[in-house]
Amino acid sequence: MARERTLAIIKPDAVSRGLTGEILSRIHQAGFEIVAIESLRLTKAEAEGFYAVHRARPFFDELTTFMSSGKVVVLALEAENAIARWRELMGATDPAKAAPDTLRRLFGSSIQNNCTHGSDAPETAAFEISYFFSGRKLV
């Protein structure tokens, strides 16, 4: 398997509940290398730009309002098969349907407040990483 990169976001619900350290610890335990990390607060316009692919979906406004409601931690992660492995560690979008010991099952409270975001494909990962990190910020 080839090494690849994926974007991870620790969402506002997790940051506000003090779960950043626990989630980072689990990222390290799972063998991911953090090649870039930043704590920030998205503006509504930045959240809309990031989630533009979902603009026509009924949840778009609620999602972008939520993602701009507080601090987030964005990370570029690297590992073999990073996209699939990060998605497995996160668990299903709905915490009630997520596998035991996944981040969303352990810490999520709803489909929206599910603590984490992750890229779903190599093309998505490339766009998402570049949205937050210029080449000079990536180790």
Pairing of strands 33-40, 116-118: unpaired
117 in active site:
yes
Q: What are phi and psi of 106, to 5 degrees?
A: -70, -40
pLDDT in tens, 69-82: 999 999 999 999 99
Task: Exactly one of 117, 118, 128, 129 is catalytic; name it.
Answer: 117
Task: For residues 75 and 39, give the distance between their C-alpha atoms in angstroms, rounded to a whole number.
Answer: 9
Q: Give the mean pLDDT per block of 10 residues along the chain (139 residues).
A: 92 98 98 97 98 95 97 98 98 97 97 96 96 80
Q: What is the token pair recorded at 50? A: 């990031």
For the chain, give the percent of residues with pLDDT over 90: 94
Fold of 3-134: Alpha-Beta Plaits (3.30.70)
CA distances from 30 to 4, 25, 83, 89, 91 (A): 15, 9, 13, 8, 14
Q: pLDDT tens digits for 85-102? A: 999 999 999 999 999 999
Nearest Cα residue to 7 out of 111, 121, 98:
121
